[in-house]
Structure 1
């Protein structure tokens, strides 16, 4: 009898009942703000920006006074401003800079639009917050009767970066997934796969091979990771054991927790690897914190984590606040959780228990339910295409690719688009990664038609300055080879959906060199 599973599920139901009695989003965020400012008031940053006064306003002042003062006292930071002004001192082992004490861990991140490595502080408070949110996400599964108690006793495969971190001058560096996996609680070790030994492997290809060889010995119920890499791993396992679906190896696989990119373009490919449907749960876990998660499989968005070490602000993503290249203006308009509107797009600012303050994370989101603080990720502040006013978002791209792929019966594993010149005007060049047979011109025509339906600005500009779009169909492996050439193989790395500036040139040179090698 699944005694442990029954106990966990009973506890989960009780937790969910209690959690229904939550405060409003504004009250949760005011409380989160108080905790952050109280903790950081005696840091160098807190002293420089009058956190003691901000704390008094948050505890005793009029309802919104604390936020008006926060906007007045503390400037908005992007990564360069935060690092050059403060985090470089934290990296040099100085204590009490933007968060109390010394920071022992730094998540290395280059995102998908910048080449330079970023060093994101990961404090003890942040690792605890991430664990709490992770547990909450798992607990939401208890709302569903169709998930048996035995599920809670199955293995959980977490495909992430190496837990063997780089040691440097008094601190450790690595992927956030590697940092958090290295700190899993003892009670979870019996469920955790691939286990500590394989998790330490730094060679990504070797790690996938080792997991594949061990897969037949595991009873996996959950899988956690970026869709592209999980799909690749499942295909390797199916091939290795000469079976038809992943359920022939893991018959109890029921849940996939995914994040990092939109899952929509991968759905068709995943369905081919399964013997029966599974539950998909989306997460929004960035190097800067666990930001949101899908509370149940039928939810259309993810719920912001309002009461666990994060304070959110929202910048309307429009021409008043951002340049055509996605650069933030000097003094943007910012809003708090109770001021946002459904259906509008915002860039995300966060203040965190890792010592980020009014920090532009680089993602854009849209609210679909303000009462529940539910959002969808629409793209990146610099990952949109607007050469001539077409304002094409990553959300538009994902939906269009999914629709066309479904219509043509193909699986699109990866894609990217570059803005290029066309005589004196402009064009879009799409690169589609699929291992299925598809006619590029047919894909191009359907993609163009779908984008016109999804985006009015795009439809207008296709009649004027945006003179053409072209499609190049490539094997999926080409995209992975590019990632490998950039040193970005691993669970935390994603292929950029939009190529701009130097990346366009690098990508074209890579394709040219690959073509030349193929001719030899």
Structure 2
């Protein structure tokens, strides 16, 4: 079988891959100018005077001055809803042919995120860059890239709208646009990938596992781990390498991998390369380079980034952004501080609040880590507990107790005229829950000064409930979010918290 990297890459993509390296600030200015030029004759571009912004002396600042910040509801109600009616040239030139359906981790109603041909082309460039980056890893098994690719994603079937567009899981859109030469390597193949029922799809993958020579797996950690566990069980294996000896690369994204790594390693016969990407329906944001701790933002392709300091000056207590917040450019950020991410893209997102929070590890390299979500944090009394803090505490608990916590979530609530946190963790390993919550509590005090302060005053109690992993999976199944890109929320609030508490009491939503 020919190596995937022997395939001739289209000239336009090859040219993009050979772009000379420039600093992030100049790359971003060029990206913004290109986006504004292409969209200046759209309804959005005319309304916000893109043609004048492009000709101004300071494009970035004039762009920020003239164009407001949008969250999904605002840009959908004012602009994107017109594209669903089949109207062209609204926020990006032409008609929108595809929409990725996304509900995040808490919202019930599906979001319709526009997917354009320009965005898909940009994403393809980034996929190839990421693939090539694997060769920078010292422990990489190069043969892995010549073997089958197993992509565990959502159903590839798309629904057709009245105006002629198609909508569905992003993996379904990518399947339609996947290059013909990739089909030779792609598993589980079109028929299995189209299955909507997650359990049926998983069983089909397990049934066919012995026929494939998997070298490269892509997917959300929880579902990929479940798949490998079932393969090992079905074929009575000691580890996954007994059936897939060339498995050498796992590409993951969507959630922090640290809580999963210990249990993942137990499934392996030898070390593999873990590659993290930062991919959303709105765009391919970044990926990990070599053995760096964080991911490098893609600053020279199709996304113009802005960074809103995630603090009380720019966000309210519920994590909603205020009107006219401070928004920084990539050369204005500081390492170690937390920012909410704004994106302008070639799919017609403009100053769009994606909902993620990040932290810069290396400003020069534009290297970041995802710290959480603007709506998924706990700060009942000023403890400012981020998902990053929680992940670190869980990872350290796994190491300390030699256990594997596969999922977790946390809620906050009033308690005896003060406040309390309650943790729910999923593990099949025996552990003393009192020792576990004491360790987690102490670790959070160590890494978060605000949390430590509040634990001596208003945050009076922290408790824990240890549950089997199947409990978390059953809840996601009842919510219709089993498999694919769905992630269990790390912080429970509002309607989902009510449903979770009812489920734990009755087994039903």
TM > 0.5: yes
Normalised by the size of structure 2, how large is the TM-score? 0.96
Cα distance in 1 for residues equivalent to 2:30 and 2:459: 48
Cα distance in 2 for residues equivalent to 1:464 and 1:255: 47
Counterpart of 2:422 in structure 1 is: 429
3-state SS, counterpart of residue 338 of structure 1 = coil
- Counting only pairs closer than 5 Å after superposition, residues 384-423 of structure 1 correspond to structure 2 as 384-423=377-416
Equivalent in 294, 316, 320 of residue 288 of structure 2: 294
- Larger deviation, residues 393-402 vs 91-100: 91-100
Aligned pair in 2 of structure 1 residues 292, 140: CA closer, same or farther (>3 Å)? same
Cα distance in 2 for residues equivalent to 1:151 and 1:490: 25
Counterpart of 2:214 in structure 1 is: 220
Cα distance in 1 for residues equivalent to 2:276 and 2:158: 27
Cα distance in 2 for residues equivalent to 1:4 and 1:116: 42
Offset of residue 471 of structure 1 = 0.2
Counterpart of 1:201 in structure 2 is: 195
Partners of 2:139 and 2:272 within 8 A in 1 = no
Offset of residue 484 of structure 1 = 0.8
1:245-294 CA-partner distances (Å, limit 9, x unpaired): 11111010000000010000001100110011110000110111110100
Offset of residue 7 of structure 1 = 4.6
Counterpart of 1:12 in structure 2 is: none
Cα distance in 2 for residues equivalent to 1:502 and 1:199: 31
- Counting only pairs closer than 5 Å after superposition, residues 371-386 of structure 1 correspond to structure 2 as 371-386=364-379
Counterpart of 1:464 in structure 2 is: 457
Partners of 1:6 and 1:149 within 8 A in 2 = no
- Counting only pairs closer than 5 Å after superposition, residues 157-176 of structure 1 correspond to structure 2 as 157-169=150-162, 170-176=164-170
Counterpart of 1:27 in structure 2 is: 26
Offset of residue 146 of structure 1 = 4.4
Residue 188 (str. 1) matches residue 188 (str. 2): no
Cα distance in 2 for residues equivalent to 1:322 and 1:476: 34
1:299-353 CA-partner distances (Å, limit 9, x unpaired): 1100001111111000011110001110101110001111111111100000011
1:107-149 CA-partner distances (Å, limit 9, x unpaired): 1111113222111001111111111111110011122454354
Residue 44 (str. 1) matches residue 37 (str. 2): no
Aligned pair in 2 of structure 1 residues 145, 301: CA closer, same or farther (>3 Å)? closer
Counterpart of 2:11 in structure 1 is: none
- Counting only pairs closer than 5 Å after superposition, residues 276-315 of structure 1 correspond to structure 2 as 276-296=270-290, 298-315=291-308
Partners of 2:379 and 2:385 within 8 A in 1 = yes
Aligned pair in 2 of structure 1 residues 67, 409: CA closer, same or farther (>3 Å)? same
Counterpart of 1:179 in structure 2 is: 173
Cα distance in 1 for residues equivalent to 2:356 and 2:18: 28
- Counting only pairs closer than 5 Å after superposition, residues 354-373 of structure 1 correspond to structure 2 as 354-373=347-366
- Counting only pairs closer than 5 Å after superposition, residues 67-78 of structure 1 correspond to structure 2 as 67-78=60-71
RMSD, aligned CA: 1.9
Cα distance in 2 for residues equivalent to 1:5 and 1:227: 24
3-state SS, counterpart of residue 114 of structure 2 = strand
- Counting only pairs closer than 5 Å after superposition, residues 501-520 of structure 1 correspond to structure 2 as 501-514=494-507
Partners of 1:5 and 1:149 within 8 A in 2 = no
Equivalent in 260, 273, 280 of residue 266 of structure 1: 260
Partners of 2:356 and 2:374 within 8 A in 1 = yes
Cα distance in 2 for residues equivalent to 1:164 and 1:373: 36
**Corresponding pairs, count:** 504
Equivalent in 474, 485, 497 of residue 481 of structure 1: 474
Cα distance in 1 for residues equivalent to 2:503 and 2:385: 25
Aligned pair in 2 of structure 1 residues 473, 212: CA closer, same or farther (>3 Å)? same
| Runs (4+) off by over 6 Å | none
Offset of residue 30 of structure 1 = 0.7
Equivalent in 307, 323, 329 of residue 322 of structure 2: 329
1:209-258 CA-partner distances (Å, limit 9, x unpaired): 10111111000110000000000000011111111111111010000000
Cα distance in 1 for residues equivalent to 2:362 and 2:106: 29
Offset of residue 481 of structure 1 = 0.7
Residue 237 (str. 1) matches residue 231 (str. 2): yes
Normalised by the size of structure 1, how large is the TM-score? 0.94
Structure 2 portions without partners, runs of 5+: 9-13
Cα distance in 2 for residues equivalent to 1:513 and 1:5: 51
Cα distance in 2 for residues equivalent to 1:6 and 1:376: 29
Residue 318 (str. 1) matches residue 311 (str. 2): yes
Cα distance in 1 for residues equivalent to 2:4 and 2:33: 37
Partners of 1:113 and 1:383 within 8 A in 2 = no
Cα distance in 2 for residues equivalent to 1:7 and 1:183: 21
